[in-house]
Structure 1
Amino acid sequence: MNSKMLVLGASLALMTGSAFAGSSTGTSALDDPAKMSPFFTDAGMKTMKSEADAKAAWTAMSADDRAAIMKECADEAVAKSHADFCKMAMQMGK
C-alpha cells in the first residue's frame, strides 16, 4: 500500500511541477521584458524606440518569437492593451 501512495505522490508532484513551470513565464510574450525591452527606451516599456531601432530589434528576434508576437497581436484584447507595439509589429511582420 505504501508503494502505491509513493508512486501516486510522485506522479502528482511531477504533474504539478510541470504545470507551474509552464505558467511561470507569464501569459504573453508581449509582457516578457527580455523579449520586449529592445523595442522600448525605458524600463517601464512605455516609450517605443525609433522605427529603425525597432526594425533592428524585430530582425534580431527568432522567427518563433516573431510568430508568437504576431499571433498575440492578432488577438483584439491583446492588441488593444499593446496598441503601439502591435501596430508596429503588424507593419513589420507583413
Structure 2
Amino acid sequence: MNIKAICLGAFALSVLGGVAFAGALDEPSNMQPFFTDSGMQTMKSSADFEIAWKATPKTTQNAMMKECNDAAMSKPHVQFCAQLFALGHHS
C-alpha cells in the first residue's frame, strides 16, 4: 500500500509540475506585444520592440531576461533574445 501511494503521489507531482516548465517566454500574452502578427511570426521593428519592452511589467522583464540568459530556455526564442540583447538588455 505504501509503495502504491508513493508512486501515485510521484505521478501526481510530475503531472502538476509539468506546468512549471513553461516560462515567461512561452506565455503568449507576454510575447504578443513584440510581434506584428497574431501568429507571432514577425517581430516588430527595433523602436516598437523597445516600446513594448518598456511597457512590460518589471517582474515579467526579469523573468524574460533570466530565460534569455539561459541557453536551454532561450533556444526556441533566439530571435526574441537577440533583439533584446541588441537593445543592450543582457547581463
- Establish whether TM, by shorter chain, passes 0.5: yes
Deviations 1:49-88 (CA, angstroms, capped at 9, x unpaired): 1111100000001111111000001111222211110111
Partner Cα distance (1:49, 1:38) in 2: 9
What residue number does 1:56 align with? 51
Asked if the contact 1:39–1:54 (Cα under 8 Å) also holds between the matched residues in 2, the reply is yes
Partner-residue secondary structure (3-state), 2:48: helix
- Answer 1 or 2: higher relative contact order, Cα 8 Å, separation at least 6: 2
Q: Does 1:30 align with 2:12?
A: no
Partner Cα distance (2:74, 2:54) in 1: 20
Q: What one-letter code is carried by the residue in structure 1 that aligns with 2:35?
A: F
- Aligned identity (percent) is 44
Which has the larger Rg? 1
Among 40, 44, 62, the residue aligned to 2:39? 44
TM-score by structure 1 length?
0.68
Partner Cα distance (2:35, 2:21) in 1: 19
Q: Cα RMSD between the aligned structures?
A: 2.4
Structure 1 unaligned residues grouped into runs of 5+: 1-15
Structure 2 unaligned residues grouped into runs of 5+: 1-11
Partner Cα distance (1:56, 1:26) in 2: 28
**Structure 1: 4+ residue segments shifted above 4 A:** none
TM-score by structure 2 length?
0.70
